[in-house]
Amino acid sequence: MKTEMIDLQTMDEAVRLLQEGEVVAMPTETVYGLAGDATNEAAVRRIFAAKGRPSDNPLIVHVASVEQAHQFVTHIPDVAARLMEAFWPGALTIILESNGTASTLVTAGLDTIGLRMPDHPLALQLIEATGLGLAAPSANRSGKPSPTSSAHVAYDLSGRIAAIVDGGETGIGVESTVIDCTMTPPAILRPGGVTREQIESVIGPVTLDPALSMKDATPKAPGMKYTHYAPEATLSVVEGDLSFLQQLIDDARQTGHKTGVLLFDGEDVDADVRCSLGNSMETAAQRLYDCLRRFDQTTVDQIFVRDLSEEGVGLAVRNRLHKAAGGRVIRP
């Protein structure tokens, strides 16, 4: 299959492809998504096939309004309505009771469904012009870091999907927060672009799925149980200060390893390849996946990163880093 790169002038083509049941990668404000008609079983099959995604991992349906969200659920509880009002369009996926309109492949047979209204003009344009709810997981091969540029999507999926709508680099850089509103109080199943603090300021206390902190608990979001974001090199999260980090890197180099390090601006550490996370947790979110993908283009075989704070979007960045590290933590 030839994968077409679509720009603003040829959006009509992307609309036509989606209406015909093809799958098209589209930019959102978080990461690129691989979109298909959520009510068309053949389209949804194509999404799973292109990504190599396990069929027990449900997809998020993207809508362009609260009204359109009603098409897919039995009802919208008050707490969810308040979240939509406060954070849509935006990086918040809300789990509600499904009414069966979406293909059962989208919900992976669950009686719930995840809905989100993305805050990106091109994604909203595609949803509105097709008139469809668009099922869209992140547009990466399963297990790889989510794509934050059209080049990342092309690297993973070229030849496997009909088209890529090029919207440049995404803004937030980590995926949406997933919150389950079928339970009281609601539970965050995946931390993401909208922070726990922001959510609690609108609806009061929420819980965190225990699986986010406890190793042995089974996560309620099926996708959170899979290995994710892993670079080809061994990634280790390091507790301790910069001199401990430098010591680890020096030791690794002395035993013949090529080393990589993820650093914030102003952190002076020497390694074979360094990738900058910028000067804040927001820039770290934007750059994390690109850094992980860049290391794959080098001969680095050991990557180190210092552990992060869980404040704000830090909760999401830290979650992705620990997943990418497969839980490997080095302590002084």
Q: Name the residues that contact ligand TXA, by CB under 6 A.
A: 28, 30-31, 33, 57-60, 91, 93, 95, 107, 110, 112-114, 116, 118, 136-138, 175-176, 178, 189-190, 220-224
In angstroms, the CA 236 to CA 327 distance is 8
- Token pair belonging to 251: 């030791």
Q: Does 40 bind Mg ion (CB under 5 A)?
A: no
Cis peptide before 89 (omega within 30 of 0): yes
CB nearer Mg ion, residue 138 or residue 150: 138
In angstroms, the CA 21 to CA 61 distance is 15
User: To the nearest whole angstrom, how small is the minimum distance from the Cβ of residue 25 to ligand TXA?
Assistant: 9
User: To the nearest whole angstrom, how small is the minimum distance from the Cβ of residue 137 to Mg ion?
Assistant: 5
Q: Does 107 bind Mg ion (CB under 5 A)?
A: no
CB nearer ligand TXA, residue 114 or residue 191: 114
**Matching residue, tokens 């001199």:** 243
User: To the nearest whole angstrom, how small is the minimum distance from the Cβ of residue 57 to ligand TXA?
Assistant: 5
User: To the nearest whole angstrom, how small is the minimum distance from the Cβ of residue 236 to ligand TXA?
Assistant: 24
Closest by CA position to 90, among listed 122, 119, 66: 119
CB nearer ligand TXA, residue 141 or residue 253: 141
**Per-residue DSSP letter, 168:** -
In angstroms, the CA 288 to CA 138 distance is 15
Q: Does 177 bind Mg ion (CB under 5 A)?
A: no
Cis peptide before 185 (omega within 30 of 0): yes
CB nearer ligand TXA, residue 178 or residue 277: 178
Q: Does 319 bind Mg ion (CB under 5 A)?
A: no
Of ligand TXA, Mg ion, none, which one sits near residue 189, judging by CB under 5 to 8 A according to partner kind? Answer: ligand TXA
In angstroms, the CA 177 to CA 172 distance is 12
Closest by CA position to 145, among listed 64, 217, 231, 72: 231
CB nearer ligand TXA, residue 287 or residue 306: 287
The CB-side HSE value for 65 (13 A sphere, CA atoms) comes to 7
CB nearer Mg ion, residue 114 or residue 260: 114
Q: Does 138 bind Mg ion (CB under 5 A)?
A: yes
Amino acid at 221: A
Residue nearest to Mg ion (CB): 138
